[in-house]
Structure 1
Amino acid sequence: MERGEPLDDQRRRGRRSQGQRRRPMPSSHDEASQPLLPSSSSPDQPQADDTSSSMVAYKRHALLSPPALLAQASSLVFLVLVWTLVFEKLPGSLFNGLPLFGYHPLLQSLTLLLLAQSVLGLQPTSQARPQEKRAAFQVHQLVNILVLVAITVGSAIMFYLHHPAGHWQSWHGVLGAALTVWLWLQAVLGAASVWGGGKALGGEAKAKGWWKWHRLSGYVLLPLFIFNLFLGATQTTWAQGNASQAHHVAVGVALVGVAVFGAVRVQAGKLPK
């Protein structure tokens, strides 16, 4: 402290020096070792969770960035293309007289839209914004419940309709069944890694490692699901007999858009080494 310096200047200098000693932001390496769900008891977090502001921040960072908007738009375009074709070619409406088969493409295209929301929502989260990360996880969890319902019912419809003619007759069917099982295992692993502090996986330290594999598994599962949707929308007997080549091209472009714009935001630092 300099002699004769006014007291107000001394206080301002003290506040500036305190600001310069603030703790550095977590690095990507540090974030990779953090659990998916931040602890509400962390001393760095405010005690009161402002849900409204957290959701606003979540939407801004997770869903309203240009790549996220383009990925969502692509998945929505695919859904519109599929639903339009189904209602043009099959009798009845959604709640009246639609053949059971018609609900399969409706549900699988809806699954993609929901799955894209689920993945996009967690991509940009940071341990530096714990309340936003918690909001993203809550949305991720709720959306994935809908994903599991949609893909399971959609797959069960085709399993039922093929009986007793036989199953596993096409790559689309085989891959679809495998992806349905994979998605359930993915959900179980994700839940086990965060619920109860990861006790089901041997504690928090081990659960952190499994969580990174859960993330990587999701990044592999999504493009495989997109590829299987392409097979179903362009290569199956029904699609080839009812959809034009222009429709096939439009479907392909929309699916590529989901894959590309979703991949743009993948953070390698959050994946297993």
Structure 2
Amino acid sequence: MSQRIDTFTHAGFEFLVRDTGPIDGVPVVLLHGFPQRGSSWDKVAAHLHAAGFRTFAPDQRGYSPGARPKGRKPYRVPELVADVAALIERIGEPVHLVGHDWGAIVAWSVAAEHPDSIRTLTAVSVAHPGAFLKSMTSSTQLFHSWYMALFNITGAMELISRRAPRQLAVALRRSGMDAEMVRTFQREIVEDGALPGGLAWYRALPLTDLRASAGKVAVPTTMVWSTDDVALVRKGAELTERFVTGDYRLEILHGVSHWIPDQAPDVLAEAILDRTGPARPDPAAGA
């Protein structure tokens, strides 16, 4: 595709996209998590561009101003997956897929449901949904997921963001965000009105069968997990291999928080590139 994709449409919604890097580069789709937007991939994308890849980082459903439906149902995983499938169709060729946090949950399902559209998968922080659910009953994951209950109290986080922004900032700092990330959260999520849509992903969980949302993944896959993640324990990452039938590897980053794309973009980019291989075959290799 010789033209940039700044937006795409699906199901009557318009989504913003950060399409950057060499225009003729092999496409990599980067899916953000909560509470971030496509900008969270900027540092990683720069490394991928240097290696010859073109990156597409959409602001997903609930985050793009033109894609913020009301209620919970529009935010079930199948709808989120369909949005990404529509972007890949617009790109017009198979892509390397990378997802962090909630973006990883969506990426697992996209790779399982649309294997012909995915060259490789790199899942960051969040294990395969099947492995995550198993970790709930075989580790301390349930304890670490306490915040999901808070997020499901209608209006609670929205009220906290308005009435106690300093306390919310402290909580984000404790999770590993630095001051600049907190300012970006305030600007891109709270002030721009994306917080209710981001929270709706959690509030739609009772309406989604996570166990059925992603089957086994056949594409070459890398799982990246970090030891200082306050929300996700190692067990899920270790169990993920059971849900991948393609070539699989687990990368453990030591001393890195949950916010891997921000805190360790060079290391994450290296893991992605190790999975994707070179952007273009080396002509000399066949000589």
Common fold by TM > 0.5 = no
Bigger relative CO (Cα 8 Å, ≥ 6 apart): 1
Please identify the structure whose Cα radius of gyration is greater. 1
What is the TM-score when the length of structure 2 is the normalising length? 0.24
Identify the structure with the greater strand proportion: 2
What is the TM-score when the length of structure 1 is the normalising length? 0.25
Identify the structure with the greater helix proportion: 1
